[in-house]
Amino acid sequence: MTDKATAALDAKGIEQVAIDGETPAERLAGPARWVVVIGTILSLVLVVNQLFNIQLFGIVLIEGRYLYLLGGMYLALSFLIFQLRGGKGGVPSLLDWALFAAALGCTAYLVQTAQQNLSSGWEYAAPLTAQYVSVVFFFLVLEACRRAGGMVLFFIVLFFAFYPTFAGVVPDPFSGFQSTFMQTVPYHIYSAESSFGIPMKAFGGVVIGFILFGAVLQRTGGGQFFNDLALGMVGGYRGGAAKVSIFASGFMGSMSGSVISNVLTTGAVSIPAMRKTGFSAKTAAATEACASTGGVLMPPIMGATAFIMASFLSRPYVEIALAAAIPSILFYWGLFTGIDAYSAKRGLKGLPKPDLPRLKEVMIEGWPYVFVFALLLYMMIGLRQESSAPFYATVLLLVVNQFRARFRLNKQRLGNMIVGVGMGLAELTAILLGVGLIVGSFSATGLAGTLVNELVFMAGDNTLVLLAMGALTAFIFGMGMTVTACYIFLAVVLAPALEAGGLNQLAVHLFILYWGMVSFITPPVALGAFAASTMAGSNPIATGFEAMRLGGVIYIAPFFFVLNPALIGQAPAWEVTVALASALVGVAVISSALQGYISLIGPLEGAMAYPMRIVLFFGGVLIAKPETALLPMSYLGSFAAGAALCAVPFYMAWRANQTDPRTA
């Protein structure tokens, strides 16, 4: 890994990778390290006691007291983990320790008075001492959000946190009920609609278990297993190194839920391998960026956002994961076919056979991971135990790990794992508490309902216009927020408007999630592409545009499934099958058009190459087009029209291949 790559840091609250060979967990030393270890262990004991109703020492906590204790502990730890000027690890300053102590003090008060808060309605009528504590805690949340989420997210949160104090003087349609500062702040801290609302409830109920599971899976060799599995499956085929990146990053991203940390871990192996087999620097980096972005959208884990979505929709998480399966398949299929076309066009080969692990040996060594995932899925789908499933799977992983010398946890590895888990949980807590302030402001001012009506009015009841507005809004907010923060904001503001347009509720929320991810590969922000470009030594902007071309399906697929819920499994089985088959064919054609090469047919070259690529692109869109009342045409009619458009480009590619044969 290059020095530039090791210093790559995401402004969206994503993990900073090794500097001088050390991870952030290894750099945190001294008393702060022990405090993080002890705090993480105690918090996990608290979570297990609450979720499994163990009643350890006879302790039974009401939900508000539990969330105050859990959120306050990690808020305090965040001041020891994140430095004042950005970055993780290092030696905390006296100021950091003072903020840590202040957070613990406020937390103790909130926990002690939780029952009084609940019974007396402190969000509207807090006593004087409670008001002062809420002000201190409020500013601690803002500072922790700044450190963990970066300046862009901080200023967005800051603006909306204070919005109720001037909402009455803002012009329509953005005006709302106005409150004083000392009315607004207690509402943010004591109500169940703000910092300790839905996001933190999801965190304390389901998210924390899956983050723990993902961290333990990576530390016990799961990442290595999935990388070797991908190498054994597709490494030997043309463009094999890139195809390995697609599979490995998909597996890893699903576990970590972080685009940048995914890029900087799997990319350290995949990008040099792609360069070695003939990929240009920008294409190698773009492939890794796209694959890592898609990993956050891939079941069964999908990162924290999917669990928050489940809480918003009051649905079992497994429904969210199953609905996300087909869109995820379409994205990765588009990326896979695009890489295949790129490789065929340039005559690239696969990795040498001696460099590939034998699939049989990989499965013999790694079958415990398959068994652990089987247990996880069975408990989630069969037993519907979403909260407890990751804990059972984690325990099984740790037991299996002790019988495997290669990845066995010694004292140092175990310590780094606990610190790493604590860092990840503190980071997410700081961001969720901050983003909760946005949700609270919309609740306090009544703005959410007003904006819904205004957006519907502006779109003129035209669902396609409303979707385009939604996509643009999600993209813009995705530039400055984490995926989770962007989703929470838009789920409150935008989703109701789209649902009012007659669209499927689950499809709408997945649409927002996908378009919130787009900024990771789209200039001018393109954080995923930029992080990968530092590792490949390519031009960041050029890498971003190459990522747009390779991952072009991510811009189109959301419109397909939001207009036709069959593509998220919300239809009879026969319709889901037909819609998926048409979409797979159409996506492959679209990827071929973007690359200028039709796999198994030949290249599109000459003076008519670009016009034919445009024709081929629209042919692919017609083939994949959903059957919907907004775009009246049956699956068969749409497929036939698309196939007719594709006929001439296919013929030209076939003729070109006759005169200049390539690997097909």
CB 177 within 8 A of CB 414: no
| 108 assigned to some structural domain | yes
CB 212 within 8 A of CB 307: no
pLDDT for the residue 144 = 94
Over residues 311-348, the pLDDT tens digits come to 888 888 888 888 988 998 999 999 999 999 888 888 88
Q: Rounded to whole angstroms, how far apart are CA atoms 514 and 499?
A: 17
CB 435 within 8 A of CB 488: yes
Arithmetic mean of pLDDT, 270-290: 88
Q: 63-81 and 31-51 helices cross at what angle (nearest 10)?
A: 160
pLDDT for the residue 630 = 59
191 φ/ψ angles, rounded to the nearest 5 degrees: -85, 165
| 142 assigned to some structural domain | yes
Q: Which of residues 200, 230, 256 is at a domain's end? A: 200
- What is the DSSP pairing of strand 597-598 with strand 602-603? antiparallel
User: Of 432 and 303, which is predicted with more confidence?
Assistant: 432
Closest CA to 518 of 539, 493, 490: 490
Q: Rounded to whole angstroms, how far apart are CA atoms 429 and 425?
A: 6
325's CB contacts (< 8 A; 6+ apart) are 299, 569
Q: Please check the confidence at residue 480 and state whether its pLDDT lies above 70.
A: no
Percent of residues, the chain, with pLDDT higher than 90 = 23
- DSSP category for residue 197: S
| 76 assigned to some structural domain | yes
For the chain, what is the domain count? 2
Going by pLDDT thresholds of 50, 70 and 90, the confidence category of residue 662 is very low
Closest CA to 324 of 355, 303, 352: 303
Going by pLDDT thresholds of 50, 70 and 90, the confidence category of residue 35 is very high
Q: Which of residues 168, 200, 232 is at a domain's end? A: 200
pLDDT for the residue 310 = 84
| 150 assigned to some structural domain | yes
Cα distances (Å, whole numbers) of residue 271 to 9, 43, 65, 85, 531: 18, 38, 47, 30, 12
User: Of 2 and 38, which is predicted with more confidence?
Assistant: 38
Closest CA to 307 of 257, 377, 258: 257
pLDDT mean across residues, the chain: 82
Over residues 525-568, the pLDDT tens digits come to 677 887 788 778 888 888 888 998 888 888 888 888 888 888 99
Going by pLDDT thresholds of 50, 70 and 90, the confidence category of residue 619 is very high
| 344 assigned to some structural domain | no
**What SS3 state is found at 628?**
strand
Q: Rounded to whole angstroms, how far apart are CA atoms 89 and 323?
A: 38
Going by pLDDT thresholds of 50, 70 and 90, the confidence category of residue 371 is confident
CA torsion, ordered 485, 488, 491, 494, to nearest 10 deg: -40
Q: Please check the confidence at residue 70 and state whether its pLDDT lies above 90.
A: yes
Closest CA to 254 of 390, 153, 434, 147: 390
Q: Which of residues 146, 171, 200 is at a domain's end? A: 200
Closest CA to 281 of 641, 20, 534: 534
Q: Whole-model pTM? A: 0.73
CB 437 within 8 A of CB 186: no
- Quote the domain boundaries for residue 601: 571-664
CB 348 within 8 A of CB 238: yes
Q: 317-346 and 240-256 helices cross at what angle (nearest 10)?
A: 160
- Across the strands, what pairs with 631? 628
Going by pLDDT thresholds of 50, 70 and 90, the confidence category of residue 69 is very high
| 58 assigned to some structural domain | yes
Q: 411-445 and 128-149 helices cross at what angle (nearest 10)?
A: 120
Q: Rounded to whole angstroms, how far apart are CA atoms 576 and 165?
A: 49
User: Of 505 and 60, which is predicted with more confidence?
Assistant: 505
Over residues 153-188, the pLDDT tens digits come to 788 889 989 999 998 888 877 788 899 999 999 999
| 395 assigned to some structural domain | no
Distance of CA 383 to the CA centre of its chain: 26
Q: Please check the confidence at residue 372 and state whether its pLDDT lies above 60.
A: yes
Radius of gyration of the chain (CA): 25
Going by pLDDT thresholds of 50, 70 and 90, the confidence category of residue 8 is very low
Going by pLDDT thresholds of 50, 70 and 90, the confidence category of residue 7 is very low
Cα distances (Å, whole numbers) of residue 448 to 183, 240, 465, 489: 19, 48, 20, 10
CB 233 within 8 A of CB 357: no
| 277 assigned to some structural domain | no
Q: Rounded to whole angstroms, how far apart are CA atoms 545 and 95?
A: 43
Range with the lowest mean pLDDT among 405-409, 418-422, 606-610? 405-409
Distance of CA 63 to the CA centre of its chain: 27
